[in-house]
């Protein structure tokens, strides 16, 4: 911005930054949901071992990667390349979802859970993660055809999960 | 700076960086006050749940956002766009203040406080947060009219809070 | 990328970023292995003192340095300077390995271990760290002659360690 | 570097980065010493209050600031502006030293120490911090006259402290 920019110019310049703000917000919310999820999983765990730490590291890798596809999406949304950007963004969550599935398999198969965790909870989480993986994969394919529809499918999954998390606590 | 810059040139160049130093200091102090506040709140809390973690995440989102409006303010202070920059800066604290209010409502309505926290403390914090929200909103409007007066109103709120925090400990 | 880039262009641009993705993945995995190792060492420790904190700081210094040689390697792999880049990359792990050796010597010589740690474990870790140092040094020399062979030697050490860590837990 | 750079070119380019490496190392060591110091102080503390948290925040502010003057020093060392750069660098530790003095005064005057901490330790730390402040201030003035001598005075203080920390543990 030139040094003589008025308050009006600055407000307009800030408003034009909405894609970056959206990317910041999107990264934050996606990472927050993963963190709360992660925090919830750790409450169920009794002990850890090296395979567990590698599986946990794989999840953390994906969490730290999220800001990059989010920035790509923010830059291309509403422009010709938006389908590739949306597919890259949602595709990241396909891999993140695989990481959560691997983590849960590692944790349950190696007997790292507290004894007080009932089998029904183990099954419910396993199914929720498998369901998430399928929805993310389908949303990625949808995004290749139409970016907005793919993103809407992805977003509705997040809202569904947040509502589930709220209800579980009541 | 050219390679042949003398010590005198470098001192002058460093002095010209004062807006960036101010932004660094301003971000740090604002985040420090929020952190001490946050730390104080966590001492009163007995247990957590998912809605609490989302409310907490909203607060953290605002804390991580603070450096951006601070940098904008540092760049535009004393230049034509300063009213927009100051309003954007203080406006960030309006939303931060909403986050603290939401956090406190979530915590108290869901019974997450320790039993030993008296109702008078719950009320005092609730009123302080509502008061802060009103002062920030008024300061934002003032800044749109005159940047310096808006910022002075905002700063006086911080000094007031710091003094309160000091006195509460005596 | 120009504003009119299509989805096809964007996909190709993202694919061309593979060296950066490789660098990100490489840094993450290298730091993850060090972290799991570090975590394992801390389980054996009973108390700390200042020399221990300095030795620990030396290890952390090397961990935070890893992303730089990784980025250099990612940029030069497959180009004329790849031998220097690979030697710089693996050479960083020579120094990291020295840091781990110094850490273990400090910890054992100053009697900071838990009494329940058998001498056989102390010896086994000491030998593993000395072995790692020798392999890294040899891999660095190999990389100066042929980058791919040096990196393959380094990678096989990591796979060997990961398998060892898995087996130790069974 | 051009795409055709050979391994020889890359090695020379990496060697030319020594000021940045020095800055990285210098920041790390300075922050490590402060951290170990800080860690040692926290072992003596029984409880905290708001003034303590503000004093602690002032220390943390200075710790996070260190990388900037270090980068300036790394850029200007051996060039005409080196005296200003060295004075700015050491001057940062004058303020850091004030922060440590304020922290210790706050902690001791407000009775936040464990009862088991003898008065002799309180006095010894107070005197060490006052001594450090005087040496840093003198080194800053020396640096304005001759950068190398000022930095040597500063460095000898660090070595002295590290040796002291080692001896204290024996």
pLDDT digit string, tens, across residues B25-46: 888 888 888 888 888 888 888 8
Q: Share the mean pLDDT of chain D.
A: 86
Q: Who's near D116: CB < 8 A, 6+ residues apart?
A: none
Distances (CA, A) of D105 to A50, C90, D39, D52, D126: 45, 47, 17, 10, 8
Examine the pLDDT at A46 and tell me if it is beyond 50.
Answer: yes
Taking only Cα atoms into account, the Rg of chain C, rounded to an integer number of angstroms, comes to: 19
Taking only Cα atoms into account, the Rg of chain B, rounded to an integer number of angstroms, comes to: 19
Whether residues A51 and C4 touch (CB distance < 8 A) is answered with: no
Helices first, then strands: H and E counts in chain B: 7, 0
Sign of CA dihedral C38, C39, C44, C47: positive
Which tokens belong to B45?
Answer: 């809390």
Residue from the list D10, D35, D166 with its beta carbon closest to the beta carbon of C84: D10
User: What is the model's pLDDT at position C168?
Assistant: 57
Distances (CA, A) of B145 to B25, B26, B134, B139: 25, 22, 17, 10
User: What is the model's pLDDT at position D168?
Assistant: 57
Whether residues D36 and C54 touch (CB distance < 8 A) is answered with: yes
Which tokens belong to C130?
Answer: 């000395």
**3-state SS class at A27:** helix
Give the C-alpha separation, B143 to B88, whole Å: 9
Residue from the list B50, B57, B72 with its beta carbon closest to the beta carbon of A166: B50
Which tokens belong to D139?
Answer: 């080194």
The distance of B72 to chain A (nearest Cα, Å) reads 9
The distance of B82 to chain A (nearest Cα, Å) reads 6
Give the C-alpha separation, C17 to C13, whole Å: 7
The distance of A120 to chain C (nearest Cα, Å) reads 27
Closest CA to C58 of C103, C110, C10: C103
Q: Who's near B105: CB < 8 A, 6+ residues apart?
A: B126
Residue from the list D50, D61, D80 with its beta carbon closest to the beta carbon of B169: D50
Entry pTM: 0.76
Whether residues C64 and D28 touch (CB distance < 8 A) is answered with: yes
Secondary structure (DSSP) of C123-169? HHHHHHHHHHHHHHHHHHHHHHH-HHHHHHHHHHHHHHHHHHHHHHH
Give the C-alpha separation, B133 to B137, whole Å: 6
CA terminus-to-terminus distance, chain D: 50
User: What is the model's pLDDT at position A53?
Assistant: 86
CA angle D38, D44, D47 (to 5 degrees): 100
Examine the pLDDT at A170 and tell me if it is beyond 80.
Answer: no
User: Which pLDDT tens digit goes with each residue over D9-48?
Assistant: 888 888 888 878 877 888 888 888 888 888 888 888 888 8
Contact B65, A24 (CB under 8 A): yes
Residues of A at the B interface, defined by Cβ within 8 angstroms: 1, 3-11, 14, 24-25, 28, 32, 35-36, 39-40, 162, 165-166, 168-169
Which residue intervals of C17-146 are DSSP H helices? Answer: 18-42, 50-65, 67-76, 82-109, 119-145
Share of chain D above pLDDT 70, in %: 94
ipTM for the predicted complex comes to 0.72
């Amino acid at each position: 911005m030139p040094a003589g920019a008025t308050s009006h110019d600055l407000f307009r310049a800030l408003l034009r930054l909405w894609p970056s703000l959206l990317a910041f917000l999107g990264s934050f919310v996606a990472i927050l949901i993963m963190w709360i999820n992660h925090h919830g999983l750790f409450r169920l765990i009794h002990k850890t071992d090296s395979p567990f730490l590698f599986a946990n590291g794989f999840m953390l890798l994906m969490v730290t990667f999220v800001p990059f596809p989010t920035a790509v999406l923010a830059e291309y949304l509403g422009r010709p390349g938006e389908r590739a950007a949306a597919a890259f963004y949602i595709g990241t969550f396909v891999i993140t979802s695989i990481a959560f599935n691997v983590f849960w398999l590692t944790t349950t198969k190696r007997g790292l859970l507290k004894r007080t965790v009932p089998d029904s909870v183990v099954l419910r989480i396993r199914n929720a993660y498998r369901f998430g993986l399928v929805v993310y994969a389908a949303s990625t394919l949808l995004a290749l055809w139409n970016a907005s529809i793919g993103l809407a499918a992805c977003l509705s999954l997040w809202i569904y999960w947040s509502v589930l998390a709220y209800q579980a606590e009541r």
